[in-house]
């Protein structure tokens, strides 16, 4: 890395793996889960988790002694303090190679041994330039949906056939992507942003387009999915990469045991008071902001439906709810609105019968792992892709009419999922997928087997 700094060698360090997540949205947590799983299988290797201070402060402390947190720059300076997330991502991406080099130096000094392998979020494919100069392995990890990655890898072909922009979407929006194996059941309107719609010239879209060109140069790809969830997708990645490792769901790989339960707002004890599959759990993640009109429609729809619910909603947004709504809910006891909920534990409670979600991939996998159907209101990114998979392919949920919250739409969807025959079928199907997940992450399962194979590649042991 062009450094003359002397490293005090740690003789007990068999190999040193650096994990670098994309430090925005929900990306760091699943990669920390994967890091913990790898570290538990390779106790003589050291794992450095490189992320920005902001995210490191929000993550649980490492559960194992051979994992260390290493802070890296977010690319901002005193002269550049944007409030827009897209601008922040742009600055980070622009400086990433320099940030990575400095972070790896810091990791080596802290661990007392040279980095032998760099694992990064696949978003950060420019890491391959740095690892190539270092002469060390680069292993990309895709924490999102395989279908979205499949689409990104065919960006050039899709743009050539479909075109780019709103006009292309109007012409081709309802047509299936039948020219890409694995996407024949998806429409152009389901594709992730940045491929044909949105700002295809933004730094974020450009980063993903460059990723599509760089990833095939890697012999390894790690995905947060399970073997067999989509055999056509499995077939594509098996042919494209020498080592295809569907090793998910990452959040279930932690063999060191679950994190200590934190439930400051007593969500679980409230759920204990309700019958099986009767409660709606609502959460649209930490980045999504529900438009004010839809926020009102959702609140009114919940009140009209009469279904008990837990709604994870930050305090700032709570202030935008209809006047008197929270007081009414508290008086009737029908609902519980909290600033934060232990999502995995809530989804795992028998009382929860539907997850009202933005269809972020981590949330989708957590819902599948818990056997809970999903009510889809996608917003951006790959949310539309996942909503199509949930509602039309796996058939484990339902999409809202027009993909927006309306009072009657919410009432109708909750009625279908919680009380109707169609909802019962959804629960049966999602429980079948839950069983597949449990088998995959068992000691004899495909995800666990792939994890052990991955350890040999990244640690050399």
Q: Are 346 and 338 in contact (CB under 8 A)?
A: no
How far CA 134 is from CA of 114, 128, 154, 156, 402, in Å, comes to 10, 10, 29, 30, 50
Same domain, 77 and 168: no
Same domain, 231 and 332: no
- Does residue 206 sit within a domain? yes
- Does residue 26 sit within a domain? no
Same domain, 419 and 378: yes
In this predicted structure, what is the pLDDT of residue 255?
57
CA atoms of 223 and 229, how far apart (whole Å): 12
Same domain, 237 and 274: no
**Tens of pLDDT, residue by residue, the chain (461 residues):** 444 444 444 555 579 999 999 999 889 999 999 999 999 999 999 999 999 998 999 888 887 999 999 999 998 866 666 667 788 888 899 999 999 999 999 999 999 999 999 999 999 999 999 999 999 999 999 999 999 999 999 999 999 999 999 888 888 878 999 999 899 999 999 999 999 988 898 888 999 999 999 999 999 999 999 999 999 999 999 999 999 999 999 999 975 544 557 899 999 999 999 999 999 999 998 888 899 999 999 999 999 999 999 999 999 999 999 999 999 998 888 999 999 999 999 999 999 999 999 999 999 999 999 999 999 999 999 999 999 999 999 999 999 999 999 999 999 999 999 999 999 999 999 999 999 999 999 999 999 999 999 999 999 86
- Does residue 298 sit within a domain? yes
To the query of whether residue 121 is one of the catalytic residues in this protein, the response is: yes
Same domain, 306 and 429: yes
Q: Are 17 and 455 in contact (CB under 8 A)?
A: no
Same domain, 337 and 311: yes
Domain-terminating residue out of 115, 133, 168: 115
CA atoms of 358 and 338, how far apart (whole Å): 18
- Does residue 389 sit within a domain? yes
In this structure, what CATH number is given to the domain that contains residue 303? 3.40.50.2000
Domain-terminating residue out of 115, 130, 165: 115
- Does residue 61 sit within a domain? yes
In this predicted structure, what is the pLDDT of residue 80?
62
- Does residue 124 sit within a domain? no
Catalytic residue among 74, 121, 190, 230: 121
Same domain, 406 and 295: yes
Same domain, 310 and 362: yes
Residue 398 parent element (H or E):
strand 397-399
Please count the structural domains in the chain.
3
Q: Are 119 and 458 in contact (CB under 8 A)?
A: yes
- Does residue 396 sit within a domain? yes
CA atoms of 171 and 162, how far apart (whole Å): 8
- Does residue 5 sit within a domain? no
Same domain, 347 and 324: yes
Catalytic residue among 16, 27, 152, 358: 27
Per-residue tokens: 211: 């990723």
Same domain, 110 and 158: no
Q: Are 72 and 43 in contact (CB under 8 A)?
A: no
Q: Can you give the C-alpha Rg of the chain in angstroms?
A: 22
CA atoms of 125 and 402, how far apart (whole Å): 35
- Altogether, the residues listed in the chain come to a count of 461
Q: Is the pTM of this model over 0.85?
A: yes
Same domain, 179 and 52: no
CA atoms of 438 and 173, how far apart (whole Å): 36
Same domain, 338 and 428: yes
Range(s) of the domain holding residue 58: 33-115
CA atoms of 52 and 72, how far apart (whole Å): 5
In this predicted structure, what is the pLDDT of residue 9?
46
């Amino acid at each position: 890395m062009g450094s003359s700094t002397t490293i005090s060698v740690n003789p007990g360090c068999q190999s040193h793996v650096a994990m670098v997540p994309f430090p925005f949205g929900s990306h760091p947590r699943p990669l920390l889960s994967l890091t913990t799983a790898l570290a538990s299988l390779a106790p003589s290797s050291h794992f450095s988790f490189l992320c920005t201070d902001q995210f490191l402060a929000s993550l649980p402390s490492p559960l194992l002694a051979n994992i260390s947190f290493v802070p890296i720059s977010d690319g901002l300076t005193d002269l550049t303090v944007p409030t827009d997330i897209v601008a922040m991502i742009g600055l980070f991406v622009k400086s990433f190679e320099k940030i990575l080099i400095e972070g790896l130096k810091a990791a080596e000094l802290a661990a007392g041994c040279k980095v032998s392998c760099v694992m990064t979020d696949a978003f950060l494919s420019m890491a391959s330039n740095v690892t190539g100069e270092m002469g060390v392995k680069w292993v990309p990890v895709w924490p999102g949906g395989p279908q979205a990655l499949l689409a990104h890898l065919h960006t050039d072909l899709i743009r050539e056939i479909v075109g780019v922009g709103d006009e292309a979407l109007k012409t081709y929006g309802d047509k299936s992507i039948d020219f890409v194996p694995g996407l024949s059941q998806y429409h152009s309107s389901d594709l992730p942003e940045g491929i044909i719609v949105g700002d295809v010239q933004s730094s974020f879209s450009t980063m993903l387009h460059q990723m599509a060109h760089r990833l095939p140069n890697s012999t390894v790809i790690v995905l947060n999915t399970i073997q067999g969830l989509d055999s056509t997708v499995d077939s594509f990645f098996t042919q494209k990469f020498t080592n295809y490792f569907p090793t998910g769901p990452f959040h279930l790989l932690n063999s060191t045991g679950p994190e200590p339960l934190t439930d400051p707002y007593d969500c679980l004890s409230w759920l204990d008071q309700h019958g099986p599959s009767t409660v709606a759990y609502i959460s649209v993640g930490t980045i999504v902001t529900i438009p004010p009109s839809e926020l009102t429609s959702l609140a009114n729809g919940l009140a009209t439906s009469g279904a008990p619910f837990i709604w994870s909603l930050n305090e700032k947004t709570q202030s935008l709810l209809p006047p008197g709504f929270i007081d009414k809910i508290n008086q009737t006891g029908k609902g519980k609105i909290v600033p934060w909920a232990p999502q995995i534990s809530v989804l795992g409670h028998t009382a929860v019968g539907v997850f009202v979600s933005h269809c972020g991939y981590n949330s989708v996998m957590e819902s599948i792992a818990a056997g809970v159907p999903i009510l889809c209101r996608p917003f951006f990114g790959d949310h539309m892709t996942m909503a199509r998979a949930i509602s039309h392919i796996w058939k484990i949920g339902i999409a809202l009419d027009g993909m927006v919250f309306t009072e009657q739409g919410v009432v109708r969807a909750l009625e279908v999922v919680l009380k109707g025959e169609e909802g019962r079928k959804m629960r049966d199907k999602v429980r079948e997928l839950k069983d597949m997940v449990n088998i995959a992450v068992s000691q004899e399962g495909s995800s666990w087997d792939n994890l052990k194979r991955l350890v040999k590649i990244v640690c050399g042991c």
